[in-house]
Amino acid sequence: MDQSTSYKFSFFALIILLILTFFFNISLGSVSIPLKEIFASIFGNTSNNETWEYIIIDFRIPKSITAILAGSGLSISGLLMQTLFRNPLAGPFVLGISSGASLGVAILILGASILGGGFILLGHNQIAIAIAASLGSFLVLTFVMLLAKRVKNTMAILIIGLMFGSFTAAIISVLAYFSSAENLQQYLFWSFGSLGNLSWNEILIFFIIYLIGIILVIPNIKSLNSLLLGENYAKSLGMNLQKSRNSILLTTSILTGVITAFSGPIAFIGLAVPHITKLVFNTSNHKILIPAVAIFGAIIMLISDTIAQLPNSEFVLPINAITSLFGAPVVIWLLMRKQKLS
């Protein structure tokens, strides 16, 4: 009883923090826009400055929403993988999903140099890139799932995922060697990750697929909790291990796949946020952990994006650099503090 009220308070505080970081993210950018104008634009009043209104409504808000979806989705996927494999080093990309997506995009962008022709322009088409990334991750996923059916040992799936990563990295480096500098640069920029430049329509597609992934998580919460105790124990509780395992893998793939398709391979968040959340919340109940991880992920992504924009300067940094640059020391600090306390 006591515990659940304290969680309620924590959640309340987290949601307030999320709303604050959301507004904080929207209000800061390269172009400094007065707060009054920002609120005027958000709440539908016509702003005096058309340019500012466009920047807020069509650039900053979609970017913030992408940050929230990507941050929460990756963190949930990371948590699912860490629980399923009972390995603190697992993350959303261990199944080889980002490798698959990267390979899809690499073939589209870098393959243009080799295949030539119409491919060159497809490499610049945002939707074509999203489709290539989805196809790539879907193919890798199907392959991993097929193998997972035959492999009894969960750890073997982890290793298969890692092998996929090395395999695709090798193909990409061969493609990179033969492609033009122009295409190479473009691929590199994709791999840095990016939250911006999605239109409202793309955000809608993103959101629908994301929602499907989230809905699929819910029936798995109970099996996730029993998985923490070990596979054998979970089985003895009457859990259909194979079925839950496949369902968890599918959920992760949908979430990670759609995020990678729309915003590129964003590192670190999926690995670190579950750790940060567990340190703060001190529970292993997934009913609490999943929403907590989602909110934490969204907050950290929003803060990272705000830093990446280098407010009031004309420059921007790649989001992937910021998540790790500022995130890694935080995780180390939290771990050290926990060691001291215990």
Partner 1 sequence: MNKILIPFFVFFLIFSCKNDKNNEVIISENNNSNSSIKYAKGFDIEYFKNYTKLIIKTPYPDADIEYEYFLIHHGIEIPKALKNKTIIRTPVKKIVATSTTHIPMIELLNEENTLIGFPQTQYISSKKTVALIKKDKVKELGNVQDINTEILLYLKPELVIGFSLTKGSKMFKNIENTGISVIFNGDWLEETPLGRAEWIKFFGALYDKKEQADSIFSNIDIKYNEAKKIALLAKEKPTILSGVLYKDKWNLPAGDSFTATLFNDANTKYLWNKTQGKGSLILSFESVFDQAKDADFWIGSGIYTTLEDMQNSNPHYTEFKAFKNKNIFTFSKKRGPNGGVVYFELAPVQPHIVLQDLVKATHPELLPDYNPFFLEKLN
Nearer to partner 1, 112 or 158 (CB): 112
Residue 264 amino acid letter: G
Tokens found for residue 34: 């007065």
Nearer to partner 1, 30 or 282 (CB): 30
Nearer to partner 1, 80 or 195 (CB): 195
Examine residue 236 and tell whether it contacts partner 1 (CB under 8 A).
Answer: no
Site for partner 1 in 16-55 (CB under 8 A): 29-31, 51-52, 54-55
Scanning 264-318, the segments in alpha helix (DSSP H) are 269-281, 286-308
Minimum distance of partner 1 from residue 309's CB (angstroms): 7
Residue in 194, 252, 253, 260 binding partner 1, rule: CB under 8 A: 194
Minimum distance of partner 1 from residue 204's CB (angstroms): 13
Residue 265 phi, psi (nearest 5): -75, 105
Task: State how far the Cα of 200 lies from the Cα of 17, in Å rounded to an integer.
Answer: 25
Residue in 43, 116, 153, 342 binding partner 1, rule: CB under 8 A: 116
Residue in 10, 250, 318, 326 binding partner 1, rule: CB under 8 A: 318
In what helix (H) or strand (E) does residue 79 lie, and over which residues does it extend? helix 61-84
Residue entry with tokens 């001291």: 340
Nearer to partner 1, 38 or 227 (CB): 38
Minimum distance of partner 1 from residue 264's CB (angstroms): 8
Site for partner 1 in 204-223 (CB under 8 A): none
Instruction: Tell me how many degrees the CA angle 303-308-313 measures, rounded to the nearest 5.
Output: 120
Task: State how far the Cα of 77 lies from the Cα of 38, in Å rounded to an integer.
Answer: 33
Q: Are 33 and 27 in contact (CB under 8 A)?
A: yes
Minimum distance of partner 1 from residue 189's CB (angstroms): 4
Residue in 6, 125, 166, 173 binding partner 1, rule: CB under 8 A: 125
Binding mask 267-306 for partner 1 (x = CB under 8 A): ----------------------------------------
Nearer to partner 1, 9 or 315 (CB): 315
* 268 three-class SS: coil
Task: State how far the Cα of 238 lies from the Cα of 84, in Å rounded to an integer.
Answer: 17
Task: State how far the Cα of 179 lies from the Cα of 173, in Å rounded to an integer.
Answer: 10
* 93 three-class SS: coil
Nearer to partner 1, 147 or 203 (CB): 203
Nearer to partner 1, 264 or 297 (CB): 264
Cα dihedral value 110, 207, 265, 11, nearest 10: 170
* 129 burial level (CB within 10 Å; 0-12, 13-18, 19+): buried
Nearer to partner 1, 44 or 118 (CB): 118
Site for partner 1 in 159-188 (CB under 8 A): 177, 182, 185-186
Minimum distance of partner 1 from residue 195's CB (angstroms): 8
Q: Are 125 and 138 in contact (CB under 8 A)?
A: no
Residue entry with tokens 């697992």: 90
Count of residues interacting with partner 1 (CB under 8 A): 37
Tokens found for residue 303: 């803060």
Residue in 16, 114, 115, 121 binding partner 1, rule: CB under 8 A: 121
Which of 263, 154, 256 is CA-nearest to residue 214? 256
Residue in 189, 280, 284, 335 binding partner 1, rule: CB under 8 A: 189
Nearer to partner 1, 168 or 183 (CB): 183
Contacts with partner 1 by CB under 8 A lie at 29-31, 51-52, 54-55, 58-60, 116, 120-121, 124-127, 177, 182, 185-186, 189-190, 192, 194-197, 199, 264, 308-309, 314-316, 318-319
